[in-house]
Amino acid sequence: MKKAVIVCHRGACLVAPENTLASLEKAIDMAADVVELDVRPSRDGVLFVMHDATVERTTNGAGRVSEMMSSEIDQLDAGAWFGGEFKGERVPRLETFLDACRGRIGTYVEIKEGDPAEIRDMLALRGMLSDAWTFSFDQSIRAETRAKVPDFRRMVLFAHVGSVERAVAQDAHILEFHQDDLDEALLAEARDAGLVTQMFYAGKDRAVFEKAVRCGVEQMNIDHVDIFRDVENELFAAA
């Protein structure tokens, strides 16, 4: 067995406000290998690190990201909702976030909205493309990424493609499984086909983590990093 690559979902989102520089720094502090981030453009085309289409849940503002000017988004407080010590934390521009990642942590960019070629070029400019990959729930963005920037590594969900064969046919690099489709034989098939296996799990059930380790999942996109590492260490010590 080999220890899994740790991907911090929206940064260290349990100890700092998600998708902020604070959550990035906490992820780096806990020795995560990769940070997962979400990207959307403002009305004037500036890319921001933000999960929701609207800003209400994670800032002190209101409105849709796509209808706000970048200067408006720059003024939002993205930390106070999480805790007083994070008051004044900003919604980071993607360029600022990538600059903070460079040479310190890999990046998994989920494109909620935006031009994949622009994002690819921002990573390439910083020498970060080889340690990055992307995904989108938007089928048109997935197709655009494959067509326009084939050197931008792409992830697909097993829930979308339904088989390892179809993931390979779509020129995917990473195949992500979830709790309900995690299967040791499928993971072995994926690895044999040259795909990197990943699991997304936002929960903290130790039994789920144990199954992931025993199945040999190569990358874990998770919130509860400490619990996963405890389970992983216990299983490795017993092996």
Domain ranges of the chain: 17-152, 154-239
pLDDT, position 53: 98
Backbone angles phi, psi at 49, to 5 degrees: -90, 105
- Nearest-10 crossing angle of helices 94-101, 116-125: 40
The closest of 222, 178, 198, 201 to 13, measured between CA atoms, is 222
Side chain identity at 181, as an amino acid letter?
D
Per-residue model confidence (pLDDT) at position 192: 98
Residue pLDDT, tens place only, 56-84: 999 999 999 999 999 999 999 999 999 99
What was the pLDDT predicted at 1? 73
The whole-number pLDDT of residue 239 equals: 80
Give the three-state DSSP class for 145: helix
Best CA proximity match to 91, nearest among 61, 50, 63: 50
Alpha-carbon distance of 22 to 79, in angstroms, equals 9
160 is catalytic: no
Distance (Å, rounded) from C-alpha 49 to C-alpha 21?
10
Rg (CA), the chain: 18
Give the chain's residues under pLDDT 70.
none
The whole-angstrom separation of Cα 139 and Cα 130 is 23
Q: CA 164, 138, 17 angle in degrees (round to 5)? A: 100
Q: Is 51 a catalytic residue?
A: yes
Domain spanning 17-152, CATH architecture: Alpha-Beta Barrel (3.20)
Residue whose C-alpha is closest to residue 231's, from 22, 46, 15, 3: 3
